[in-house]
Chains A and B, each alone.
Chain A
Amino acid sequence: GQNIDQPTEMTATEGAIVQINCTYQTSGFNGLFWYQQHAGEAPTFLSYNVLDGLEEKGRFSSFLSRSKGYSYLLLKELQMKDSASYLCAVRDRGSGAGSYQLTFGKGTKLSVIP
């Protein structure tokens, strides 16, 4: 099975940069995903890493180190609308017919303050 760990809550100031860390333990690793989830809504896809290194997409970047079982999501130029939960999810081949299943961490609730 997987063990995914990320901070429960973080607070950052509008316009600043924040880094949300995620560590994981899994077998059959097949990718790491970051999703954003506003309260009462479904998750929206942010980023995907399967090889080591940094993936940049606008204000959001995600980094992966497979040997360390570590990823982070970097949010730049924070805006108030970035206040949400950020979910780290690991994909592996799973068992049985459920290939490419995602296992989610508990999420990091980010509060952006003026």
Chain B
Amino acid sequence: GAVVSQHPSWVICKSGTSVKIECRSLDFQATTMFWYRQFPKQSLMLMATSNEGSKATYEQGVEKDKFLINHASLTLSTLTVTSAHPEDSSFYICSASRPLAKNIQYFGAGTRLSVL
């Protein structure tokens, strides 16, 4: 079964609103979680690395004030897309690194965001 849970799976929102996406590791503690974005027919692009209890590390070109990441516990990381605009519409996927399994990343089911 799934080892990483991601919610919601699909969200439609109006331009200017904020959307929060949750990522949970279900049966292990994940000190590191990752957030990716994937546009149609393209590969996954890493947005940021989220470490429990510290600030996230953002990839070049990703606005940290727009994509707020919080990793308050060893099993939960959240991504908040603030003041969403249509160009933020994408497939957002989280993953959690499993320390006792060679740090293999296991992915959540993804969140499809559509901003009107």
Residues of chain A touching chain B, judged by Cβ–Cβ distance below 8 Å, are 31, 33, 35, 40-45, 48, 50, 87, 91, 94, 96-107
Most buried by B among A33, A87, A94, A100: A100
B43 in complex: contacting residue of A40, A45, A50, A106, CB < 8 Å: A106
The docked-state distance in angstroms from the alpha carbon of A31 to that of B93 is 21
Main secondary structure on chain B at its contact with chain A?
strand
A33 touches B107 (CB 8 A): no
Q: Shortest CB–CB separation between residue A112 and chain B, in angstroms?
A: 19
B57 touches A97 (CB 8 A): yes
Report 6 cross-chain contacts, Cβ distance below 8 Å, ordered by A residue: A45-B106, A98-B57, A101-B49, A102-B105, A105-B43, A107-B43
B-side contacts of A99, CB under 8 Å:
32
A104-B44 CB under 8 A given contacts A41-B110, A97-B51, A97-B57: yes
6 A-B pairs with least C-beta separation: A98-B49, A42-B107, A42-B110, A106-B43, A104-B43, A97-B57
A101 touches B54 (CB 8 A): no
B-side contacts of A45, CB under 8 Å:
104-107
The docked-state distance in angstroms from the alpha carbon of A78 to that of B30 is 34
B106 touches A102 (CB 8 A): no
A48 touches B102 (CB 8 A): yes
A-side contacts of B73, CB under 8 Å:
none
Q: Shortest CB–CB separation between residue B12 and chain A, in angstroms?
A: 16
B93 touches A42 (CB 8 A): yes
In the complex, besides A97-B49, A100-B97, A104-B43, 7 extra interface pairs with C-beta distance below 8 angstroms are: A33-B104, A42-B6, A42-B109, A43-B93, A98-B49, A100-B32, A101-B34
